[in-house]
Amino acid sequence: MDRIKVGVVGATGYSGAELVRLLLSHPGVELVFATSEQQAGKSLRQALPHLGGPHDLRLQLRPLDPAALAGEAEVVFLCLPHGVSMDAVEVFLEGGCRVIDLGADFRFRDPAVYKAWYAKPHARPDLLSEAVYGLPELHRNLLSGPGAGTAPGTRARLVANPGCYPTGAILALAPLVTRGLIERNTIIVDSKSGVSGGGRAPKLDFHFPECNENIKAYRVGRHQHTPEIEQELSRLSAEPVTLTFTPHLVPMTRGILTVAYGTLARPLDTRGILACFREDYRAEPFIRVLDQEEFPETKHVAGTNRCHLGARVDTRTGRVVVVTAIDNLLKGAAGQAVQNLNVLLGLPETTGLAGLQAYWP
Amino acid sequence: MDRIKVGVVGATGYSGAELVRLLLSHPGVELVFATSEQQAGKSLRQALPHLGGPHDLRLQLRPLDPAALAGEAEVVFLCLPHGVSMDAVEVFLEGGCRVIDLGADFRFRDPAVYKAWYAKPHARPDLLSEAVYGLPELHRNLLSGPGAGTAPGTRARLVANPGCYPTGAILALAPLVTRGLIERNTIIVDSKSGVSGGGRAPKLDFHFPECNENIKAYRVGRHQHTPEIEQELSRLSAEPVTLTFTPHLVPMTRGILTVAYGTLARPLDTRGILACFREDYRAEPFIRVLDQEEFPETKHVAGTNRCHLGARVDTRTGRVVVVTAIDNLLKGAAGQAVQNLNVLLGLPETTGLAGLQAYWP
Amino acid sequence: MDRIKVGVVGATGYSGAELVRLLLSHPGVELVFATSEQQAGKSLRQALPHLGGPHDLRLQLRPLDPAALAGEAEVVFLCLPHGVSMDAVEVFLEGGCRVIDLGADFRFRDPAVYKAWYAKPHARPDLLSEAVYGLPELHRNLLSGPGAGTAPGTRARLVANPGCYPTGAILALAPLVTRGLIERNTIIVDSKSGVSGGGRAPKLDFHFPECNENIKAYRVGRHQHTPEIEQELSRLSAEPVTLTFTPHLVPMTRGILTVAYGTLARPLDTRGILACFREDYRAEPFIRVLDQEEFPETKHVAGTNRCHLGARVDTRTGRVVVVTAIDNLLKGAAGQAVQNLNVLLGLPETTGLAGLQAYWP
Amino acid sequence: MDRIKVGVVGATGYSGAELVRLLLSHPGVELVFATSEQQAGKSLRQALPHLGGPHDLRLQLRPLDPAALAGEAEVVFLCLPHGVSMDAVEVFLEGGCRVIDLGADFRFRDPAVYKAWYAKPHARPDLLSEAVYGLPELHRNLLSGPGAGTAPGTRARLVANPGCYPTGAILALAPLVTRGLIERNTIIVDSKSGVSGGGRAPKLDFHFPECNENIKAYRVGRHQHTPEIEQELSRLSAEPVTLTFTPHLVPMTRGILTVAYGTLARPLDTRGILACFREDYRAEPFIRVLDQEEFPETKHVAGTNRCHLGARVDTRTGRVVVVTAIDNLLKGAAGQAVQNLNVLLGLPETTGLAGLQAYWP
């Protein structure tokens, strides 16, 4: 099989660097370009000295010039700050590329939601209906199949890769919401993220002495990932879902632990809840449903594209508690982007991802 | 004023070592004994090499022999594993000491609750009614005043120092529960603790390579601090409070961040919620209510006896979110024990505690 | 090619778990047994929940019974506490296995050195002359070729996998000592290790609150890895090498940074020193010699079998400073053991190792 | 006694914030101003939310205007970037203030050294001869006594507070160099610092995901603290001392561990070496010489102004190894500055410092 040519825009941020790493060892693709504004001119080996292995690391980083780059790759990954993707997307799409955007710009169906939570109007609302929310466990068919994109029978042109928090939260709740097992207005999502989720640009919040030996909640009740979780859960529910979301910054580099709470709509025990998850996720290569009284730890999934999931019914209060752990840079970003790529290309979904092994200890 | 003679049982665990540190610089007391089973015979200076300052560190650690020790001190602090305090308490009380127990054995009014959550029957249920739950912000009068202990007019003989998680949770919720502002069966408490909360005995869970760069939830829905929080909130409420509690282990040494959620019983905005906290906590020397859109960080309180508190109404969902931060070893253990001591002795509540300064950065 | 059957003794310690991980994805071998005293009966999936990927994780951990196990594998890896390997080695060798011992028992040629530094007599001094010190960069020929083991033409039967510190130190110094470029009695090795180097058994030294936010030197001038470094450098030198070695415990999980100092025997600049390293290590797949003014970081090699090396001549003092970084569990233990396996089996040395990617960020 | 009026320039960096904390509880001084360019207008309470205690935190941060501020305080502490102090110093001195400069600008006696290591000419070489290198354990007399400053009988006007690394290194070596016990050209200093040593300005090097779970050496053989250590040791020695210095960045917030190596000029055992340290440091309130086979840990001194010191003679190599631990922000910066202040003011040297207690665990 010919390798598909792919490019990465923003290759020296954390998500971009992870994408480069994954794509270099992906048997179905060839990385033909990688961009970096600050490090253009350096080779991958110079800019990302942790990379190694049998790969050719001489590829030189380039500045972002969508018009020039569009002709070189069939699939382009965008790792750009929110709000910046909009323009680049257009040029790449017009140049015939498929685009997998790791930013937030195309995750919403409703431009008003984008405007409300990102504090600016959407520049390309026309593309929102075309974009597919790339959580393969939910939207595999939209990505690859007849329902995707502009016309029946075509594959998606524009994939909006989910946010890191939404990935952990939606996977924790989808089987329950779909079945109507939890009262839809009782959902609370309390998530804890490693610092790499804040990106690679130095800021006081992520300065080692400030966040080491510290934990804090931030943007309580107003984090921009809230509507993303709500949108996807609402699609699975008979009625709109509104929820409370609290993210935290934890003194570790990688990983998100999400704890989701909801009041059961009807009596069910832990065994029954876990059975629902097993049913829905049985064939999912990246989801592991744990046994009763087992709960996930971020360290067991760091470095992988997996999501570990545990659940328990608190019979005293009639609530279910679901816990998921993911690696925010992999299943929460670059790994999921490659999973989306595989679906787009019709490859086995684990291609280039199955070999990832956890960073343990 | 003569210094009151005090002793610490279990002085080389984390809570005990903190107590020793605080008591050495407390102007109202004299530390006359400190015990350690494993390090008996060593001096404080040898066993706790971080101690310094102008203090005499030659005091020699002794093995625990309540009968022998009871005559030496007027107040004894017990830092013993749960279930072990029961016997020691009896001997010290009979020897005429007042006891401040940092363990869980005397925190419950109902021995059936103890049995249900600690998996063994209580050995001294008769003492439970006498013991005062030592959260001074709630029970100052019981500790010092006419209502305390066995008879009017006496001070408490036996103080059950609160658990670390309950301290953060109860302070987050008491003003709201007292006023009936949240629907009493909608409360969820999601807490994140540093590893020192697990004590000093080496265990795999707290082995550096296992918990570094990792976060996990544990004892989901069945942690033994749950009924302690419920007991105290129920005392403030017209009807019993039942809640869901999830503790987490965070890769840092000190600190607990607690996020408490509840559905508002009537419409109220963030300003109104904060006004309630300010009203109740105005005179509290160790509670700082933050401004709107400010939320606490554990690093701002580590090393102190303070509790920082922030809150926000999530108007979209009708819920209030309250966040507290404490140092689990101080306001969550040794600091609060000294605060209780001060109340017992009729000293200003900040004696020996006001000078504590935060471990920042 | 038929896969070679291999077994791992002590599979739930850190080195053993890493070996299991590497061997499961090694194309030339089949893992036929793995032992664990404490977790015998559990499957790999249960005991090591971080493992995943496409592998079959149903293999059940067994207790150590060398006589029974010897017949099942052609190569056995021993991850046992120092002093315990001696007996197991004998049984496995007699059963016809080749043994790669990750412990210290067979690293010394002189049993008197073992006794002096490990405080007990060696039980099998007869095997010491047969054992090959498995640092492939130095002793590849002894492992695979005519010079190895008891008779010309055979491959080594018993490989003593180097200690973690010695690996980093010897690689830093071998090219210089071989060439007589540093005065042989001026060498100082100052190493800094992550906590996983202390193993998985919980101890107070490795208890999170004790070693987090802390650094200390330990066993100053008397660490048992000292004679191991000296033995290997002395083999490369005209005269015996004696040196000062100081290890440190650093608050991170993985990685060793080694800084080696020596006085230059004749004037040479940084460029000249680096040229020596490049010459010797040009064909080494796991050693990367950095450019001038570049120095290694453990984070760039964590998760890999690589050693990064930087050097600088301090012309003011006439000293050379060489810095190496390795992952203590990989190039310092399990990865190097697999590298040795590959040499033994005549496989390309990077088999099963080239795909390892760094844990960054 | 009237409180002396003091001011802090650069009060929201780490050293400045620590100074503010110390000065607020110092019984001999009154903090009359504190400056911050970025946070001018905020109160101490707003800008430094970790501060608490009984202190008045309403003092408002001001922009730096030396001419206006000089008249307000008798002693001014400068916490400014290197190279920036020079100008401010002049104005404050002319305004009649004494200045304690925490930067490097006035640490060197020879302007050529400054120029060589700081890559720019010194703007005020005339002041270098007046400035006193403020390591009280060495230069107490110069600070307070007849030999200090411009004229006999006066106290120092300008104190150059030592660098963090030099403090740990000089204290480790001074008694040995003074006595000629180590061959003066065999000294190697290998130091390991927490990240707060890099200051509070966000940079990629100190971005949490970059330095967490990582250790590296930096500026090998060319760190600007090298000549500072050499200058002070040379003053104690018959002949100039030149040495090799290697600093490291360790994934913790506070603390410096320094290991100093030197070849003994004559045979001496560990007991003899420790006796020298005990003799010189017997009366030092902030230095604790440990027993044989005890070595310091940064965690035992973090939060204090202490230096712990251990040593061992490596009889095999004829070398002595000395290890010191300090808190880089206290004994390595703000604490030492207050110690200098006390000497200047003729106060007991522990004033405002004795009560500091270690950040343990």
Q: What is the pLDDT of residues B89-118, one digit of tens each?
A: 999 999 999 999 999 999 999 999 999 999
H/E stretch holding A310 reads strand A307-314
State whether D208 and A211 contact (CB < 8 Å).
yes
pLDDT in tens, A158-189: 999 999 999 999 999 999 999 999 998 999 99
Six token digits for residue B290: 């933050």
Q: Do residues C214 and C189 both lie within one domain?
A: yes
State whether A207 and D212 contact (CB < 8 Å).
no
pLDDT band at B153 (very low <50, low <70, confident <90, very high): very low
Strands (E), C232-326: 244-249, 256-263, 287-289, 307-314, 319-326
Q: Do residues A146 and A208 both lie within one domain?
A: no
- Does residue C184 surpass a pLDDT of 90? no
C21 in A contact zone (CB under 8 Å)? yes
D50 in A contact zone (CB under 8 Å)? no
B360 in D contact zone (CB under 8 Å)? yes
State whether B53 and D300 contact (CB < 8 Å).
no
Catalytic annotation, pick one of A97, A164, A211, A276:
A164
User: How far apart (Å, rounded) are the C-alpha atoms in residues D184 and A145?
Assistant: 77
Q: Which of A148-162, B298-312, D286-300 has the lowest mean pLDDT?
A: A148-162
pLDDT at C2: 87
User: How far apart (Å, rounded) are the C-alpha atoms in residues D173 and B13?
Assistant: 35
Contact A25, A50 (CB under 8 A): no
Here the CATH number for the domain that contains residue D55 is 3.40.50.720
pLDDT at A105: 95
State whether B21 and D357 contact (CB < 8 Å).
yes
D196 to chain A: nearest residue by CA?
A: A209
D351 in B contact zone (CB under 8 Å)? no
Strands (E), C227-315: 244-249, 256-263, 287-289, 307-314
pLDDT at A1: 63
Q: Is residue C254 part of a domain?
A: yes
Strands (E), C290-356: 307-314, 319-326
Strands (E), chain B: 4-9, 29-35, 75-78, 98-101, 132-133, 158-160, 188-193, 216-217, 244-249, 256-263, 287-289, 307-314, 319-326
Contact B57, B43 (CB under 8 A): yes
- The ipTM estimated for the assembled molecules is 0.96
Minimal C-alpha gap between A155 and chain C (Å): 27
To the nearest whole percent, how much of chain A has pLDDT over 70? 97
pLDDT at D287: 98
**A361 vs B contacts (CB less than 8 Å):** 209-210
Give the N- to C-terminal CA distance of chain D in Å, as an integer: 37
Q: Do residues A147 and A16 both lie within one domain?
A: yes
Cα C218 to the center of its chain, rounded Å = 20
Question: HSE on the CB side for A64, CA within 13 Å?
Answer: 20
pLDDT in tens, C252-298: 999 999 999 999 999 999 999 999 999 999 999 999 999 999 999 99
- Does residue A266 surpass a pLDDT of 70? yes
- Does residue D77 surpass a pLDDT of 50? yes
Six token digits for residue D50: 């970790």
pLDDT band at A149 (very low <50, low <70, confident <90, very high): very low
State whether C17 and A288 contact (CB < 8 Å).
no
pLDDT at B148: 44
Torsion region of A327: left, alpha or beta (phi above 0 gives left; psi -120 to 50 gives alpha): beta
Q: Is residue C250 part of a domain?
A: yes
Torsion region of C153: left, alpha or beta (phi above 0 gives left; psi -120 to 50 gives alpha): left
Domain ranges, residue B244 = 164-326
Nearest to A207 among D206, D213, D252 (CB): D206
pLDDT at C41: 98
Q: Do residues A47 and A91 both lie within one domain?
A: yes
Instruction: Give the pLDDT mean for B252-268.
Output: 98
State whether B215 and A250 contact (CB < 8 Å).
yes
Q: Do residues C274 and C183 both lie within one domain?
A: yes
- Does residue C155 surpass a pLDDT of 90? no
Q: Is residue A64 part of a domain?
A: yes
Mean pLDDT, rounded, of chain B: 95
SS3 A207: strand
Counting the structural domains of chain C, the total is 2
Decide: residue A123, CB within 10 A, 0-12 exposed, 13-18 middle, 19+ buried.
middle
C325 to chain A: nearest residue by CA?
A: A50
For A55, residues 6+ apart whose C-beta sits below 8 A from its C-beta are: A24, A25
pLDDT band at D83 (very low <50, low <70, confident <90, very high): confident
Q: Do residues D126 and D173 both lie within one domain?
A: no
Minimal C-alpha gap between B187 and chain D (Å): 29
Minimal C-alpha gap between C215 and chain D (Å): 6
Size of interface A-B (CB pairs under 8 A): 145
**B354 vs D contacts (CB less than 8 Å):** 53-54
Instruction: Give the pLDDT mean for C26-38.
Output: 97
CA max distance for chain B:
62
Minimal C-alpha gap between B214 and chain D (Å): 12
Interface of B with C in 229-258 (CB under 8 A): 251-253
Q: How many residues does chain D have?
A: 361
How many other CB atoms are there within 10 angstroms of residue C255's CB atom? 34
Six token digits for residue A120: 């600016």
Q: Do residues B204 and B91 both lie within one domain?
A: no
Q: Do residues A137 and A171 both lie within one domain?
A: no
**D252 vs C contacts (CB less than 8 Å):** 212-215, 251
D292 in B contact zone (CB under 8 Å)? no
The residue with greater pLDDT, B155 or B297, is B297
pLDDT in tens, C317-328: 999 999 999 999
Q: Is residue A350 part of a domain?
A: no
Helix/strand/coil percent split, chain C, to 5: 30, 20, 50
Q: Which of B79-88, B242-251, D40-49 has the lowest mean pLDDT?
A: B79-88
Cα D58 to the center of its chain, rounded Å = 29
Nearest to A212 among D14, D202, D208 (CB): D208
User: How far apart (Å, rounded) are the C-alpha atoms in residues C170 and D220?
Assistant: 20
**C354 vs A contacts (CB less than 8 Å):** 53-54
Q: Which of A24-33, B148-157, C205-214, C338-347 has the lowest mean pLDDT?
A: B148-157
Instruction: Give the pLDDT mean for D309-326.
Output: 98
Instruction: Give the pLDDT mean for D217-245.
Output: 97
Instruction: Give the pLDDT mean for B113-141.
Output: 95
Quick check: is C164 catalytic?
A: yes
- Does residue B245 surpass a pLDDT of 80? yes
User: How far apart (Å, rounded) are the C-alpha atoms in residues C301 and C310?
Assistant: 13
User: How far apart (Å, rounded) are the C-alpha atoms in residues C288 and B156?
Assistant: 69
SS (H, E, C) D207-273: EHHHHCCCCEECCCCCCCCHHHHHHHHHHHCCCCCCCEEEEEECCCCCCEEEEEEEEECCCCCHHHH
Minimal C-alpha gap between D316 and chain B (Å): 29
Six token digits for residue D31: 């903090």
pLDDT at D150: 46
Q: Is residue A356 part of a domain?
A: no
- Does residue C150 surpass a pLDDT of 60? no
Mean pLDDT, rounded, of chain D: 95
Amino acid at C134: G
Q: Do residues A73 and A174 both lie within one domain?
A: no
Contact B89, B64 (CB under 8 A): no
Cα B337 to Cα A128, B88, B143, distances in angstroms: 58, 17, 12
pLDDT band at D152 (very low <50, low <70, confident <90, very high): very low
Q: Is residue D294 part of a domain?
A: yes
C-alpha gyration radius of chain A? 20
Subunits adjacent to chain B (3 or more Cβ pairs under 8 Å): A, C, D
User: How far apart (Å, rounded) are the C-alpha atoms in residues D169 and D256?
Assistant: 10
Q: Which of A93-97, A212-216, D51-55, D287-291 has the lowest mean pLDDT?
A: D51-55
Instruction: Give the pLDDT mean for C162-177.
Output: 98
User: How far apart (Å, rounded) are the C-alpha atoms in residues C85 and C108?
Assistant: 14
The residues that bridge with B192 in the sheet, in sequence order, are B248, B257
Q: Is residue A355 part of a domain?
A: no
pLDDT band at D149 (very low <50, low <70, confident <90, very high): very low
pLDDT band at B2 (very low <50, low <70, confident <90, very high): confident
pLDDT in tens, B64-88: 999 999 999 999 999 998 888 888 9
SS (H, E, C) A45-87: HHHCCCCCCCCCCCCECECCCHHHHCCCCCEEEECCCCCCHHH
Q: Is residue B361 part of a domain?
A: no
Q: Do residues B254 and B289 both lie within one domain?
A: yes
pLDDT band at C144 (very low <50, low <70, confident <90, very high): confident
Q: Quick one: DSSP state of residue C132?
A: E
State whether C303 and A359 contact (CB < 8 Å).
yes
Q: Do residues C185 and C235 both lie within one domain?
A: yes
C208 to chain B: nearest residue by CA?
A: B208
B47 in C contact zone (CB under 8 Å)? no
Q: Do residues B157 and B168 both lie within one domain?
A: no
Here the CATH number for the domain that contains residue D194 is 3.30.360.10
State whether C202 and B204 contact (CB < 8 Å).
yes
Minimal C-alpha gap between A38 and chain D (Å): 13
pLDDT at A45: 96
SS3 C345: helix
**C196 vs B contacts (CB less than 8 Å):** 209
Nearest to B297 among A185, A209, A216 (CB): A216
Contact A355, A335 (CB under 8 A): no
